[in-house]
Amino acid sequence: MSTADTRTTVAAAYEDETVVLGYLQHRKRFAWQRLLHNSQSALLNHWRRKSAAQRVLEVAPGPARLSVELAGVSSGVMVENSHEMVAVARKRLRDAGLADNWRVVEGDAFGLGSLLAGQMFEFAYTFRFLRHFREPEREQLYAALRERLLPRGLLVFDVVNAAELTRIESRGVAKSADEIDIYDVAYSEESFRAEMDRFGFDVLELAPVVRNFALQSEISYRLERWLPWAADALVKSLESFPGRQALEWVAVCQKRA
Ligand SMILES: C[S@@+](CC[C@H](N)C(=O)[O-])C[C@H]1O[C@@H](n2cnc3c(N)ncnc32)[C@H](O)[C@@H]1O
C-alpha cells in the first residue's frame, strides 16, 4: 500500500478497528512517547489557561488522547471523521467526567464550514493531523480553521523537525509492522514561520519537545522492558537540557486580524 497523504487515504487509515483499539497503547509505548504526550498536554493547558478560552475546538481528536487532559473547557467541540474513533472518544470523555463539556461531531474536517456553521472559537488545536497532508490540503485546512477562529484566536498543533527526521531516516531504521505508513511534512524553524505567515497566522511560540531525541529514544528502547520507571525518569530529566535535536515542536499560532 502507498503512503497515506490525502484527504481520503489519511481518513481511511483510522477506520480500521485494530488501529483504533491499539492507538493509545501504541502512542504511549515508550518513555519518549509518554514525554511527548505529557509535554503536549502541559503546553495546551498553559495556553488555554493563559488565553482564558472557553470556546475550544479540537480537530481530529482520535480517541480524545489530549482532550481528557485539558482542564477548564466549558464549551468544547471536536470534529472526528472515524466512526470508531468517535465512539472511543465519547467513552473516554464520559469516563473522565467531561461528557457535558464536549460535543463530539462525527464528520470531515475539510467540511468544517458546513459542519460548524455559525460557531466561532477562541482556541483550536489539532495534533498528528495537519502534518499528514501536502501543501494544497494543508492550505484548505488552515483556511477552514481560520474561518472558525475569532480574531486573534489561537491555533495549537505539532510540527515535525526536518533536521531530526532526516537524521532518523538516514539511520535506515525500519518501521515496525504495526506502524501506519503515513506522510509527515517536516520543517526548519524558518520554513515553518514562513508557512504560517503565508496562511495568515503569527507564531507566538514554537516550543521544542523531546529535545534530545537521539539519546532519549535510545534510553527508552533499552530500558522499557525491564525498567520502564527508570526510562521515564531519565528521559524526563534529559528534557531540561536544551539539545539541538528536538523531535518536534508544539506551535502556538495566532490568527492575524
Ligand atoms: C494520527 S490520529 C491523531 C489523533 C489525535 N489527534 C492524537 O494526536 O493522538 C489522526 C486522526 O485524524 C482523523 N481524521 C483523518 N482524516 C480526517 C478528516 N478528514 N476529518 C476529521 N478527522 C480525520 C483520524 O480518524 C484519526 O483519528
Please tell me the distance between residue 12's alpha carbon and the centre of ligand 1 in angstroms.
Answer: 10
- Ramachandran sector of residue 228 (left: φ over 0; alpha: ψ -120 to 50; beta: rest): alpha
Distance CA 190, CA 155 (A): 18
Phi, psi for residue 205 in degrees, rounded to 5: -150, 140
181-185: average pLDDT: 95
Q: Which three-class secondary structure state does DSSP give residue 76? A: strand
Tell me what the pLDDT averaged over the chain comes to: 95
Which amino acid is it at 253? C
Of ligand 1's listed atoms, the one at least distance from the Cα of 82 is 25
Q: Which CATH number fits domain 7-255: 3.40.50.150, 3.30.70.100, 3.30.70.1170, 3.30.1300.10?
A: 3.40.50.150
Q: Whose CA is nearest to atom 8 of ligand 1?
A: 127
% of the chain beyond a pLDDT of 70: 97
* Residue 133 near ligand 1, beta carbon < 6 Å: no
Interval 189-207: pLDDT, tens: 999 999 999 999 999 999 9
Q: Which amino acid is at 214?
A: A
Q: b/e string for 165-176 if b means 16 or more Cβ within 10 A?
A: beeeeeeeeeee
